[in-house]
Amino acid sequence: MIYDDFSSRGCGSIVTRLSDDYQDLCRKESLRERLTWFYYDEGYRRERDERLEYFLKFSQRGKELHLLKRSRDVKCGVGYRNEGYKDDGTDCIPPEPQKPPQLPQTEDDTQSRKFKLSRGEKWRILKNIGTVSIAFMVQFTAFQGTANLQSSINASDGLGTVSLSAIYAALVLSCIFVPTFLIKRLTVKWTLCLSMLCYAPYIGSQFYPRFYTLVPAGVLLGLGAAPMWAAKATYLTQVGGVYAKLTDQPVDAIVVRFFGFFFLAWQTAELWGNLISSLVLSEGEFGSGGGNSTTSWNKIKLCGAEFCVLGNGAHENLERPPESEIYEISSIYLTCVIVAVIIVALFVDPLSRYGEKQRRADSQELSGIQLLSATAYQLKKPYQQLLIPITVWIGMEQAFIGADFTQAYISCALGVHKVGYVMICFGVVNAGCSLLFGSLMKFVGRQPLMALGAIVHACLIVVLLLWKPHPDNPYIFYSVSGLWGVGDAVWQTQVNGLYGTLFRRNKEAAFSNYRLWESAGFVIAYAYSTHLCARMKLYVLLTVLMIGTMGYIIVELLHRRKQRRLKAIAEDPKAAQAEANQPEETDDEKDDLDDDIIITHL
């Protein structure tokens, strides 16, 4: 018998065959027990019990089945069309029906969203982390080497500083609109490739540095930098969560460790980039004639905290090197950018292997201008607002060491050809401390390391205010550069890791905000670079550092209070009941991806 009425009862299409015993009992209409009906729904079998009285109504009426009439006449064998049914005229009980075809699974199906990974996948994850880190090292060998020379080799009319300011001004705008949109469209891997290519025009513009070549190229670089950094941070945070699941370790410790390894490789770019520029400039005629012996004491007295860009235009140590040497440096750097893009395209696994589709499905779906401005919505969160000052500080301190320290201290007192050697010390110490602090965080926590960074940079600012640089004391230059790298390593590893921990659910928007406010720090520092003397710049830095540290302390206090509240809820049923009565709030620290990972033992 075909029971089409089951469709209206939410059972789906049900076709089954009663056993011989059940058929006899049905004919006698004496069975008063439950029958279990099986039917298929999207590839898996469910069970449903229905009382026999419902079916006996149909056997009493036989082939008429007039109770099943809806918009059409339904007779025995009519209604749900089953190709496996042939009417044999016996109480409308059909032979063995064909199994209904399995319906295709949709992406919304919970089962299809889960993905399996073996324990051995952790080695592949480490390979991907290493590959991304090496690609960024090669990429920023070119950019950091170029950027550190801009305030010295393109000092005329402040061209170098203006071009750097254009980079980070464009980066601010890009952080608001571009990263989330581009990552949604191209995925994380190909966003990395496209964004890294945007660095090539700026390097190429060094062959013909003018305002109408360097500034537009800087704008293009800034537009590409925001999605590149956001994609990188998303990749590291995502695979860090998967790695933590595979190894049964805390997510925040793994994420910080991955960021530490990344910044180890990334900060060595300072070494290689500055080594290339220093070797080329030192071996050339500019380095052999280098300016220390001819620089007067009156000129040296104007270096350091007393240095003012507008008052030192005729300083002999700030003259532009020969064009042939600049062409050689730029050619090497341009090659590095191309190689970095090839490394990512060929050797980095796409994030879809580690749940990129699941992450995108779990995130809030936005469209149109909402999708482009998702980063702006992040600003409504209290944690994000409190982290803005410390993030701005990170940009300002990097701008100072890369532009003001190199110009006011190194180039002014030692010469342009020494910039690379002094900055190598910054890069080496920064790289080593990035790895050290990334691993040390698991044992001592984040707060002591953040305190270390704040104390080191505050002390260095005081030293730079009091110190009179002189070429007879070169070791002080290297010491200041190295210690500045210690502080910068703290900010790069710990603040990035803090963003990844607090905003796991909205990683793209969070790291876009990180780059936005870091870039704002760069823009602010470069904007006043040509108008303020070094002493005033140091006062501004110290003020921003103090405000940023206070904001970070408040974040830690709020986070600790939240952790205590969650612990109390877990232990006290009354507290849990009271919490249930409160309005539900989104927890950015919870990532549903953990539930979608199935670990296999292959």
CA distance 125 to 355: 13
Highest mean pLDDT among 189-203, 281-295, 305-319, 500-514: 189-203
Q: Which residue has the higher pLDDT, 228 or 566?
A: 228
Q: Residue 433: which of 253, 232, 261 has the closest Cα?
A: 261
Highest mean pLDDT among 300-309, 330-339, 579-588: 330-339
544, 392 Cβ separation under 8 angstroms: yes
Highest mean pLDDT among 32-41, 80-89, 197-206, 560-569: 197-206
Residue listed under structure tokens 């990552």: 183
- Bridge partner list, 127: none
Reply yes or no on whether the pLDDT at 155 is more than 80.
no
Predicted pLDDT at 12: 38
CA distance 510 to 375: 7
518, 459 Cβ separation under 8 angstroms: no
Reply yes or no on whether the pLDDT at 193 is more than 70.
yes
Predicted pLDDT at 313: 53
Predicted pLDDT at 117: 65
pLDDT in tens, 391-446: 999 999 999 998 889 888 988 888 888 888 898 898 889 888 887 887 788 788 88
Reply yes or no on whether the pLDDT at 496 is more than 90.
no
Predicted pLDDT at 372: 53
- Bridge partner list, 34: 51
Q: What is the pTM of this model?
A: 0.65
Predicted pLDDT at 581: 55
Residue listed under structure tokens 């900010």: 491
Q: Quick one: which H or E segment has residue 225? A: helix 211-247
Residue listed under structure tokens 């921990």: 501
Reply yes or no on whether the pLDDT at 4 is more than 90.
no
CA distance 513 to 593: 22
596: CB partners within 8 A, 6+ apart: 113, 114, 115, 355, 358
Residue listed under structure tokens 């670990």: 599
The percent of residues in the chain predicted with pLDDT above 70, rounded, is 67
Reply yes or no on whether the pLDDT at 320 is more than 90.
no
Residue 9 pLDDT level (bands cut at 50, 70, 90) = very low
Provide mean pLDDT across the span 323-345: 93
441: CB partners within 8 A, 6+ apart: 253, 256, 257, 260, 449, 493, 494, 497
Predicted pLDDT at 49: 42
Reply yes or no on whether the pLDDT at 263 is more than 60.
yes
490, 453 Cβ separation under 8 angstroms: yes
Domains of the chain as residue ranges with CATH? 119-286+295-561 (1.20.1250.20)
**What is the torsion angle, in degrees rounded to the nearest 10, for the CA atoms of residue 198, residue 203, residue 204 and residue 207?**
160
Predicted pLDDT at 291: 44
* Count of Cβ atoms closer than 10 Å to residue 331 Cβ: 13
522: CB partners within 8 A, 6+ apart: 164, 165, 167, 168, 171, 395, 396, 398, 399
461, 541 Cβ separation under 8 angstroms: yes
97, 38 Cβ separation under 8 angstroms: no
Would you give the DSSP letter of residue 466?
H
Residue 569 token pair: 């809820």
Tell me the average pLDDT of the chain: 75
Chain centroid, CA 96 distance in Å = 56
Reply yes or no on whether the pLDDT at 223 is more than 70.
yes
Residue 476 pLDDT level (bands cut at 50, 70, 90) = very high
94, 17 Cβ separation under 8 angstroms: yes
Reply yes or no on whether the pLDDT at 482 is more than 60.
yes
Residue listed under structure tokens 């319906």: 103
Rg of the Cα atoms in the chain: 33
Provide mean pLDDT across the span 43-64: 44
Provide mean pLDDT across the span 371-387: 79
* Count of Cβ atoms closer than 10 Å to residue 583 Cβ: 4
CA distance 461 to 467: 10
Q: How many CA atoms lie within 13 A of 161 on its CB side?
A: 25
Q: Residue 391: which of 237, 520, 556, 524 has the closest Cα?
A: 520
DSSP line for 111-170:
HHH-EEEETTHHHHHHHHHHHHHHHHHHHHHHHHHHHHHHHHHT-GGGHHHHHHHHHHHH
Q: Residue 152: which of 419, 429, 486 has the closest Cα?
A: 419
Residue listed under structure tokens 């956001």: 230
Reply yes or no on whether the pLDDT at 83 is more than 70.
no
Question: Rounded to a whole number, what is the distance in angstroms from the first to the last CA of the chain?
Answer: 48
Predicted pLDDT at 205: 92
Predicted pLDDT at 390: 96
Residue listed under structure tokens 């064009």: 323
Least confident of 11-15, 139-143, 364-368: 11-15
Residue 575 pLDDT level (bands cut at 50, 70, 90) = low
Residue 284 token pair: 């050339």
Chain centroid, CA 298 distance in Å = 49
CA distance 204 to 380: 40
Q: Residue 287: which of 420, 417, 145 has the closest Cα?
A: 417
Residue listed under structure tokens 């830095």: 541
